[in-house]
Amino acid sequence: MSEFKRISPQQAHALRQQGAAVVDIRDPQSYALGHISGSQHLDNYSLADFIARADLDAPLIVTCYHGNSSQSAAAYLVGQGFSEVYSLDGGFELWRASYPADVAQDAAE
């Protein structure tokens, strides 16, 4: 995959069950109030460390509020060497509506 792909919450849910990682690029306060279970908050401060530790060949799903900002972040991550990157259409808001039982709170996860 030379570019990222946009996927629905249903496709993302299936990918997660196969072991895909999820990164959330929203602000820390929004992330703390609710995020996809098992996701990692990613911002300018944690980005370099995340890239250094990540498996560049593993599937990676990027989420934001509504699925717009995640597209730019997904494109950036492809440029950093990630080979299988997805942007979540509808972002966290659509995920929360689709999978309310798969939402966690607090940043300690």
Cβ atoms of 103 and 96 closer than 8 Å:
yes
Tell the residue number behind the tokens 């997805």, with chain if given.
Answer: 86
Q: Is 30 a catalytic residue?
A: no
Distances (CA, A) of 2 to 5, 57, 62, 84, 108: 10, 12, 16, 8, 33
Catalytic choice (15, 61, 64, 73): 64
- Catalytic residue positions? 64
